[in-house]
Structure formats: C-alpha cells, structure tokens
Structure 1
C-alpha cells in the first residue's frame, strides 16, 4: 500500500510544493511545528533512512540543504533545524524547521496557517531556491 507521501508524489493528494527534481520533492508539513516547516522526501518509497542506497542518501542531504538555505533566506529565524524521525509515516523524510525557539523542534508545538499563507510562503521560498 502506498504511503501518504507516495500519494502526494503521484499527485493523488495535494500539497504545498516547494521544490522537486527527478529524485525528491519538498513540501510544507500541513501540521507544522513552525511557519515554513518543510518535508524533503525521496520519490522512491523506502521506510528507513539508513536503508537508502548511500548515493541516494547523500543526494537527499544535498537536496535538503538547498531547500533549507532557501527557507533561511525567506523566513526570519535563528537557524533551520533538521530532524529525521520516521515513525509517523513509513517513508523516508527529512524535516526542515525554521527555528527561533527550542519548542519548535519538539513536535508537540504546532502553529496554524491558512491556505493563503501556505501558498504565499511557498511562492516566496521558491523564489529563493
């Protein structure tokens, strides 16, 4: 059964896309810890990050870095935090979270954003890629 991320990749579920190439897609988390919380996901459905082939793992980190730099240029923050947890969706994904406070990295702190805010922010980040 396809993961929710595979369904997003296949266009079956909408997302607020930030970036995409042949191997990866980046989109906003719809239940964000902070404004700009982004997920970088390989298009190949693999459950655990350490099960990725080394070359794909390294490319995922390069892709995530590029997206993270664009987030930093767009969203006022002290830094962009990175986390790989993988318990909630069995498909590798890197969380990039613009941080101003440690609580934003706890996954128990959430912020609300409207559809218009997500769309506007996605356009702003895309301009900084």
Structure 2
C-alpha cells in the first residue's frame, strides 16, 4: 500500500519541499513543533529505519545535517533536533527541527493547525538559506502563485 509520503513525493498531495535528490526529499511537516520543522524521506518506501541499508542511512543523515545547519542559522536556534520515530506513517522519515530547549522535543507541542502563510514563509526561508549555503542544485524552485 502506498504511503502518504509517497503520495506527497509523487505530487498527488501538495508538500512544501525544501530538498530533492535522486535518493530522498525533504519537506515541511504538516504538524511542526517549531518553525522550519522538516522531514527527510527516502523515495523508496521502507517501513523501519533498521531495514534501510547503511548507504541510505548515511545519505539521509547527511541531508538532515545540511538542513539542520540551515535551520540553525535561519532561526538562530541553540540546537537542532533529530528524531526517527516511525509510528504514525510506515515510511522511514527523519524529523529535523530548530530547538532552543528540551521542551522543543515534546511531541505534544505539535501544532495541529498551523497557519498556511507562516508555513509557506518557513519553507521559503529554509530554501533560501539552503541556497545560500551552496545547496541550490537540490533546492526546488518556489511554488508558482
């Protein structure tokens, strides 16, 4: 059965993409804990991170690190959170988000209905920061109005 992430990757469901390459994509999560909260998702459907091969895990981590660096610079955060959980959607995904305290790791703080304009702005800011850090070849163009 196709996951919601595959449907987002395939364009069936809209997503705020900030990274795309042959192996994975990254887009803002629909339920962020903080502004700029992104998910790094392999194009291949893999349920559990332990089922991914070493090369894929290394690639996802490298992309998460690039995104995390951009988030930390753009939102001037003290740290960047990284989480692989995988209970809600059976498709490996790495959460990456700017954090300033241990409370920013509390999943009960997820925004249930974030403002779409604020989400669009966060995606724009993250794309621009990634471009400024030299990753433009992997940053998708801004959506057209």
TM-score range, shorter chain: over 0.9
Instruction: Note the alpha carbon deviations across 1:78-107, whole angstroms, 9 max, x for none.
Output: 111101001111000001121112122121
Task: Tell me the equivalent position of 1:114.
Answer: 115
Q: CA deviation at 1:113?
A: 3.1
Q: CA deviation at 1:76?
A: 2.5
SS of the counterpart of 1:108? Answer: helix
Structure-2 separation of matches of 1:10 and 1:59: 20
Question: Aligned runs of 1:45-84 on 2, under 5 Å?
Answer: 45-84=45-84
CA contact (8 A) 1:104 1:110 kept: no
Structure-2 separation of matches of 1:34 and 1:127: 18
Structure-2 separation of matches of 1:38 and 1:4: 15
Greater Cα shift, 87-96 or 105-114? 105-114
Structure-1 separation of matches of 2:106 and 2:19: 25
Greater Cα shift, 71-80 or 8-17? 71-80
Structure 1: where are the runs of 5+ without partners?
none
Task: Tell me the equivalent position of 1:126.
Answer: 127
SS of the counterpart of 1:124? Answer: helix
The CA RMSD measured in Å over matched residues stands at 1.2
CA contact (8 A) 1:40 1:95 kept: yes
For normalisation by structure 2, the TM-score amounts to 0.84
Task: Tell me the equivalent position of 1:92.
Answer: 92
SS of the counterpart of 2:109? Answer: coil
Task: Tell me the equivalent position of 2:36.
Answer: 36
CA contact (8 A) 1:97 1:105 kept: no
For normalisation by structure 1, the TM-score amounts to 0.94
Task: Tell me the equivalent position of 2:142.
Answer: none
Structure-1 separation of matches of 2:126 and 2:73: 8
